[in-house]
């Protein structure tokens, strides 16, 4: 059967564009000109209804002082809200005496909801023009959902002192992921960064030596991305660090500004990983439309009671796991291999349950032949309507039967029954509820914690069962 597929980066780019279209329909930016100030009043008037907030206001806003100002193109940050799809930021020319935390303010000189991470680059000089002074601007931020509705009050106001003599932000700022945290080691890395406000796209370079300290360093790979994130399509195995940097480009692909600072990561197969995890994007990480594997809150590996190397690749079907097993698994020589895959197969009418089961059988044979104990995780449900809304992709109307047959087969193997943990929370039709997975496929924080809780609780039993069967079957 010929299965047509697009790259996961293309899928993410399409998703990002769609989310931006949904959230930024009311996007308005303002300067201090009278006509735009009038438009600001009109926009604020449309958002004066008090919402029932589900989340607390953002905290830990970037703080500045007259002695520690930022440039006229600063990057400002605040605490992450994992229930947010976007954030709305307001900027004021002076501190308002009276202001509601529940509603947008007519006093703001700038407002944007075009923010999809808890950091943003603001072009202060473009906003205030010649009105730059040494007096601080003031800003605040709140979290919003996919419909563009606020889910939190605005934060407290924070001063924003600037200094025109300081160098502007002229390069992306990489997001660092501490490698010592559970779930942070990815065989298929994801590069992400804070987007400069004037960037139309990006070029990413990957090195096997530090380009900052090696004059003749040549990239081993170069990628382009329209968004501030890129999923590496290749596995990165090495005992030595990899290095990467990113640069903004304009609409024609020409470079803007400078290269970012250099970031590094390692995978180090020789570190004797006892446990590996192999799967698709559910195990690779990410969820709630705006978060990727670099956001460890959305990785179920982050909540395990033990370390595991993440060998998952977003977008995989079970046949991909069979194809890349020798290349991606064997260098790490894990004792146990947790396998969670099949959702992309079974939600599509291009794949049959029998095909997916045959691939699981092949993986089982490959593991045991190499002395690896496989442990399979049954699959949580999906939500066809949410998948359609998020990805514009259809779901096989027969997905529930396919998932049930597939999970029943996995239960005949060494397994952990993750699916059973979701039964109490599923909708009447058996679908994944939106509050547990906004896009209908990738579980959000609570769902990822639920997966890990089941794995932790059943680990000793499943590991003993896997070892026993491996000894019984292996020649």
Q: Express each pLDDT in 60-90 by its tens digit.
A: 999 999 999 999 999 999 999 999 999 999 9
Domain boundary among the residues 129, 160, 191 is at 160
Q: What is the pLDDT of residue 133?
A: 73
Arithmetic mean of pLDDT, 386-392: 95
Arithmetic mean of pLDDT, 150-172: 95
Express each pLDDT in 181-196 by its tens digit.
Answer: 999 999 999 999 999 9
Q: Which backbone phi and psi does 460 adopt, to 5 degrees?
A: -60, -45
Banded model confidence at residue 12, pLDDT cuts 50, 70, 90: low
Express each pLDDT in 266-324 by its tens digit.
Answer: 999 999 899 999 999 999 999 999 999 999 999 999 999 999 999 999 999 999 999 99
Domain assignment present for 361:
yes
Domain assignment present for 189:
yes
In the chain, the number of structural domains is 3
Place of tokens 């990899």: 242
Axis crossing angle, helix 353-369 with helix 399-410, rounded to the nearest 10: 20
The CATH number linked to 106 is 2.60.40.10
Task: List the alpha helices (DSSP H) in 235-383.
Answer: 281-284, 318-328, 343-346, 353-369
Domain assignment present for 280:
yes
Arithmetic mean of pLDDT, 386-391: 95
The CATH number linked to 358 is 3.40.50.1110
Same domain, 73 and 205: no
Q: In terms of residue numbers, what domain contains 47?
A: 23-160
Residue positions counted in the chain: 475
CA–CA distance, 426 with 432 (Å, rounded to integer): 5
Could you tell me if 413 and 441 are in contact, meaning their C-beta atoms sit under 8 angstroms apart?
A: no
Same domain, 339 and 468: yes
Does residue 6 surpass a pLDDT of 60?
Answer: no
Domain boundary among the residues 136, 160, 184 is at 160
Same domain, 290 and 238: no
Same domain, 203 and 340: no
Same domain, 184 and 310: no
Same domain, 282 and 261: no
Could you tell me if 305 and 34 are in contact, meaning their C-beta atoms sit under 8 angstroms apart?
A: no
Domain assignment present for 261:
yes
Domain assignment present for 66:
yes
Provide long-range contacts, Cβ within 8 A and 24+ apart, for 98-105. Answer: 99/157, 101/57, 101/153, 101/154, 102/50, 102/51, 102/53, 102/153, 102/154, 103/44, 103/47, 103/48, 103/49, 103/50, 104/43, 104/44, 104/47, 104/48, 105/44
Same domain, 69 and 193: no
Same domain, 123 and 201: no
Same domain, 36 and 154: yes
Q: What is the pLDDT of residue 45?
A: 44
Q: What is the pLDDT of residue 159?
A: 97
Q: What is the pLDDT of residue 411?
A: 98
CA–CA distance, 434 with 427 (Å, rounded to integer): 9
Same domain, 223 and 352: no
Q: What is the pLDDT of residue 227?
A: 95
Same domain, 292 and 248: no
Banded model confidence at residue 472, pLDDT cuts 50, 70, 90: confident
Domain boundary among the residues 105, 129, 160 is at 160
Q: What is the pLDDT of residue 459?
A: 98
């Amino acid at each position: 059967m010929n299965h047509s597929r697009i790259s996961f980066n293309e899928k993410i780019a399409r998703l990002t564009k769609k989310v931006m279209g949904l959230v930024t329909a009311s996007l308005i930016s303002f300067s201090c000109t009278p006509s735009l100030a009038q438009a600001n009043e009109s926009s604020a008037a449309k958002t004066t209804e008090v919402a029932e907030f589900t989340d607390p206001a953002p905290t830990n806003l970037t703080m500045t002082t007259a002695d520690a100002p930022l440039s006229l193109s600063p990057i400002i940050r605040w605490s992450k809200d994992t229930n947010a799809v976007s954030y709305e930021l307001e900027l004021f020319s002076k501190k308002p005496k009276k202001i509601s935390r529940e509603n947008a303010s007519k006093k703001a000189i700038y407002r944007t909801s075009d923010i999809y991470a808890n950091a943003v680059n603001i072009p202060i000089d473009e906003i205030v023009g010649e009105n730059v002074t040494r007096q601080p601007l003031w800003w605040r931020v709140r979290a919003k959902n996919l419909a563009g509705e606020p889910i939190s009050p605005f934060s407290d106001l924070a001063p924003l002192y600037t200094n025109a003599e300081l160098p502007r932000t002229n390069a992306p700022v990489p997001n660092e992921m501490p490698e010592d945290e559970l779930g942070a080691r990815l065989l298929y890395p994801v590069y992400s960064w804070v987007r400069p406000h004037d960037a139309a796209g990006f070029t990413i370079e990957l090195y096997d030596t530090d380009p900052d300290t090696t004059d003749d360093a040549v990239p081993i790979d170069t990628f382009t991305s329209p968004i501030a994130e890129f999923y590496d399509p290749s596995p990165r195995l090495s005992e030595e660090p990899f290095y990467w940097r990113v640069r903004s480009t304009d609409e024609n692909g020409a470079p803007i500004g400078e290269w970012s600072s250099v970031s590094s990561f390692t995978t180090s197969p020789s570190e004797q990983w006892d446990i590996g995890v192999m799967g698709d994007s559910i195990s690779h990480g990410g969820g709630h439309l705006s978060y990727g594997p670099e956001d460890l809150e959305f990785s179920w590996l982050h909540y395990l009671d033990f370390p595991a190397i993440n060998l998952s690749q977003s977008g995989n079907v079970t046949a991909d796991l069979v194809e890349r097993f020798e290349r991606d698994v064997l260098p790490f020589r894990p004792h146990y291999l947790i396998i969670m895959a099949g959702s992309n197969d079974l939600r599509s009418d291009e794949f049959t349950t029998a095909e997916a089961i045959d691939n699981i059988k092949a993986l089982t044979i490959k593991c045991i032949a190499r002395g690896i104990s496989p442990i399979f995780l049954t699959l949580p449900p999906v939500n066809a309507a949410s998948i359609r809304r998020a990805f514009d992709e259809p779901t096989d109307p027969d997905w529930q039967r396919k998932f049930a047959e597939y999970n029943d087969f996995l239960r005949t193997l060494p397994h952990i029954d993750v699916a059973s943990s979701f039964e109490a929370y599923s909708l009447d039709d058996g679908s994944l509820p939106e509050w547990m997975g906004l896009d209908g496929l990738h579980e959000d924080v609570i769902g990822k914690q639920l997966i890990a809780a089941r794995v932790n609780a059943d680990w000793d039993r499943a590991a003993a069962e896997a070892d026993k069967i491996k000894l019984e079957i292996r020649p």
